[in-house]
Amino acid sequence: MALSDTGTARRPIGLEGDAFSRWLSQHSPTLLLGLLLVLLPAAATDFVLDQIVGWTLVLGMIALSLMFLAGYGGMVSLVQMTVAGLAGYSITVLGASSLPSISLFWPWWVAAPLAILIAVAFGTLAGALSARTEGIYTIMITLALASAFFYLTLQNWSIFNGFNGFTSVPAPIFLGVNWKSPVPLYYLILFCAGLSYVAVLYVSRAPFGIALQGARDNPRRMEAIGFNVMAHRIAAYAFAAVIAAVGGILLVWLNNQISPGTAGIQATIDLLVIAVVGGLGHPIGAFIGAFIYVILRTFALDALVAVGLDGRRFQTIIGLGFLVIVLFSPDGVIGIWRRWLARAASSRRGIGR
Amino acid sequence: MATALGDEGTARGARRGDALGRWINHHPLAALSLAVIVIFCLWLILAPWPQGFEDWFGRKRLFINALFNGITLGGLYFLVAAGFTLIFGLMRNVNLAHGSLYLFGGYMGYEAGVWTGSWLLSFVVAFLCCAIVGAAMQILIFRRMEGQDLRQTLVTLGLSIVFADLMVWVWGGNAIQIDTPDYLTGPVPTPIVVALKPSGDAIFLQYPRVRLVIFAAAVLIGIGMWLALHRTRIGMMIRAGVDDRDMLSVLGYRVQLLFVLVFAFGAGLAGMAGIVGGTFQSISLGEDSHFLLASLVVVIVGGMGSIPGAALGALIIGLSEQFGLVYFQNYATVATFVIMVVVLALRPQGLLGRR
């Protein structure tokens, strides 16, 4: 697949010699970024914490689950936003909301795992359905499933409360901390996002991830050497669904509401845009894409008006930007970055010679 | 009575010795139940319903209306999905901008109708506009990335985002209704009994003329496409291209020209469907994704790249949507998707698709 030929599988896996310092130098940008994010609440306002960085991390997590399937599995699944939405709806219906006629008000430690379980079951089932067909069919089938869920939430009033959705879905209070307030919520999101990032990196280098990438590149050959390609793909869907489900619950807690638009067709497509713009070659791409998207969404309106254009043409900007990336840098922003690094390195070598 | 007819069918089929007869001989039980179902359906449609049945199932008028609406909606879905499936079958290009072309055709047809005052002329305008856009997409973009399915699909996705936003810019978010021309307005009496008056006289179904005419046109277009595919030289080239694109091009046929023609034709069909949709219902923001979705489901159910499959899928989806709307409002779209999921689980290539 053209979009994902920069997979991480080719990197050296074993660490020899002065392992720790090499690991440190190899990962210094990631570690620096992590440190920055941990220290951020000391400097940033609540708006930046929740609306910019919080949103970036949550959308990044959901995009990460799409990146995992598309980048390592070669399956562009558009159902990941729906998995997140289903988890969000589940925790609203099982837990607390402003609608006592629908919500069951179970404690969070029952509602959250159940919500994740429901969403993962759905994600796995959707995966099992679409993994039966090859390649480009996946997009069609998952897009149809995602739209089905959107129209269901729009039409159904008995469970999903139709067009209105739910408001006042608070994050719970546990361990003596009110997770609704900005800083604790930020750390909760940061923890989950960091964990899922590391998990995806780990799985991509574990035997399962390597086999999945093998199935992406040559399913027939993998089948011939004894791998059950179908099972690997469905397991990948299940793993991705866990990340998307956690992201969906955090999205509801962050947003304090959920409505059909949360997992609507537009949101589904935006998620694909995020993942592709960031780049499907490395897990960090999902977060980079989410950051660009959130920045654009937050500031593009004002910026467009400032240069004398109609602020409502935000979607055109998103669409054109997406087209430019797909047409000129199919491996996303990461690809641009990598090519730039390679060019810098080669020109340095040229000077040295 | 049903049994007798079923047996008779078996005997006749066997005497003729054709494929149907052989099938009936091999599956007598299936054939019998199929005959019973067909007869039951005919009874449902033609006979006035007894009071007890109406009490349990609902009024017959509702049922017949849902049936007719479903079939005519199926005609509209076929117009949209036929181009989609043709483009996919030949070029392996999942054109996610197909819904945008539908919407664009609807708007252009509306403008043309306002300018010229002719409903029929607006079809020509919509077809030409969308065909030009489609051909431009194929020549300017997709030709450069042949064989890269995913990238092409992503490009169509980006285009659909931009198109949707530009159309909101030009035509706003309000729904636009295309007026039915005078000679097609009003109902047509049909020979189907809806109910009985207390006096015992039958009340016959009145159905909008425009919907029946458009359905007939969709059927004609479908038959025309089938004939063009199976009886003409270009059709032969298209079918050969669906099976093996590279071989066709090696044999010296101008595959690129074929691609442009098929893309333009498929886009033009979607544009004409936009006018039909604007006459049946209305065209507005969001209809693009609705019809994109409808064509996705239709071709998934019917089978990718197959015109008869698109017709069958469109009929099934149209009917299930309309019956869902009448009999279980809360879950209307779910019925459609249950059908899709069942088809995918049992026959991943679609009902009439080939592997």
pLDDT tens for each residue of A156-167: 777 788 777 787
- Roughly what angle, to the nearest 10 degrees, separates helices A229-255 and A182-205? 170
Amino acid symbol at B79: L
pLDDT of residue A208: 93
Cβ contact, residue pair B297, A137, below 8 Å? no
Sequence-ordered list of residues with C-beta below 8 angstroms from that of B245, at least 6 positions apart, any chain = B90, B255
DSSP string, B39-103: HHHHHHHHSPPPHHHHHHH--HHHHHHHHHHHHHHHHHHHHHHHHHHHHHHHH----TTHHHHHH
DSSP string, B265-280: HHHHHHHHHHHHHHHH
Cβ contact, residue pair A151, B333, below 8 Å? yes
pLDDT of residue B78: 92
**Three-class secondary structure of residue B189 per DSSP:** strand
Query: By CA distance, what is B297's nearest residue in A?
Result: A144
Which of the four pLDDT bands, split at 50, 70 and 90, describes residue A17? Answer: low
Q: What is the mean pLDDT of residues A222-248?
A: 92
Q: How far is B324 from chain A (nearest CA, A)?
A: 12
- What six digits make up the tokens of B197? 């008056």
Ordered by where they begin, the domains of chain A are 32-352 (1.10.3470)
Interface of B with A (CB under 8 A): 92, 94, 96, 141, 148-151, 153-155, 157-162, 164-166, 168-169, 289, 293, 296-297, 299-300, 304, 329-334, 336-337, 340-341, 344-345, 348-349
Residue A221: phi and psi, rounded to 5, are -70, -40
Best mutation target among A147, A265, A320 (most B Cβ atoms within 10 Å) is A147
- What six digits make up the tokens of A181? 């307030």
CA–CA gap between residue A241 and residue A323 (Å, rounded): 28
Cβ contact, residue pair A319, B155, below 8 Å? no
Which of the four pLDDT bands, split at 50, 70 and 90, describes residue A10? Answer: very low
To the nearest whole percent, how much of chain A has pLDDT over 90?
24
Cβ contact, residue pair B337, A269, below 8 Å? no
CATH of B47-185+191-346, one of 1.25.10, 1.10.287, 1.10.3470, 3.40.50: 1.10.3470
Q: What is the mean pLDDT of residues B60-64?
A: 80
Which of the four pLDDT bands, split at 50, 70 and 90, describes residue B305? Answer: confident
Is residue B286 packed enough to be buried (19+ CB in 10 Å), middle (13-18) or exposed (0-12)?
A: middle
Q: What is the mean pLDDT of residues B1-23?
A: 55
To the nearest whole percent, how much of chain A has pLDDT over 70?
90
Q: Which of B150, B333, B344 lies at the smallest CB-CB distance from A76?
A: B150
Q: How far is A140 from chain B (nearest CA, A)?
A: 6
Ranges A114-118, A252-256, B65-69, most confident? A114-118
Complex ipTM: 0.78
Residue B3 has pLDDT above 60, yes or no: no
Q: Which of A147, A313, A327 lies at the smallest CB-CB distance from B155?
A: A327
pLDDT of residue A197: 92
Least confident span in A254-268, A294-308, B214-228, B273-287: A294-308
Domain positions in chain B are 1-46, 47-185+191-346
pLDDT of residue B17: 57
pLDDT of residue A311: 65
Least confident span in A14-18, B37-41, B85-89: A14-18
The answer to whether A133 contacts chain B (CB < 8 Å) is: yes
Residues of chain A in contact with residue B158, where contact means CB-CB under 8 angstroms, are 273, 319-320, 322-323, 326
Residues of chain A in contact with residue B148, where contact means CB-CB under 8 angstroms, are 2
